[in-house]
Amino acid sequence: MTTLHHEHPTHAHVHGPSCGHRAVPHGDHVDYAHDGHLHREHSGHWDECESTGHTAHADHGHAHGPDCGHESVPHGDHVDYVHDGHRHAEHDGHYDDH
C-alpha cells in the first residue's frame, strides 16, 4: 500500500508529543489526528496521510465500535480504530488497514 503525497499547504501548527492532537502510529512514522484528517511530517512540511490502496485486514474477528476498548480516530467520513499499531476502518463487511 502506498501513501499519497498531498501537502497540507497552510499548516502553521507543529505537531509533536505535547501538541494536543492524538498521535497515531502508522507504519514507519506517526500521524497526528487534526480536524478529521491525519497529518504526517514529510521533508519539512506536513502532508495529509492517506493510503491509496485497499488492504483488507485478514482474519479480523474483533468488531470495533464505541466500547471495543481501542482508541477511535475521526478520519474523514468515518472512524478508524487503532489496533495492533495500525488503524482499522470498517469497509464492506470487513476491516481495512489504513
| Sequence-ordered list of residues with C-beta below 8 angstroms from that of 33, at least 6 positions apart, any chain | 21, 22, 24, 73, 74, 75
Q: pTM score, two decimals?
A: 0.60
Strands of 1-98, DSSP E: 6-7, 22-26, 29-34, 37-42, 45-48, 71-75, 78-83, 86-91, 94-97
pLDDT digits (tens, 9 = 90+) for 42-59: 787 777 776 666 677 777
Question: Distance (Å, rounded) from C-alpha 89 to C-alpha 98?
Answer: 7
| Sequence-ordered list of residues with C-beta below 8 angstroms from that of 7, at least 6 positions apart, any chain | 42, 45, 46, 47, 48
pLDDT digits (tens, 9 = 90+) for 50-84: 666 667 777 777 888 889 888 888 777 888 888 77
Q: Which three cell numbers, joined as nine digits, stand for 2?
A: 502506498
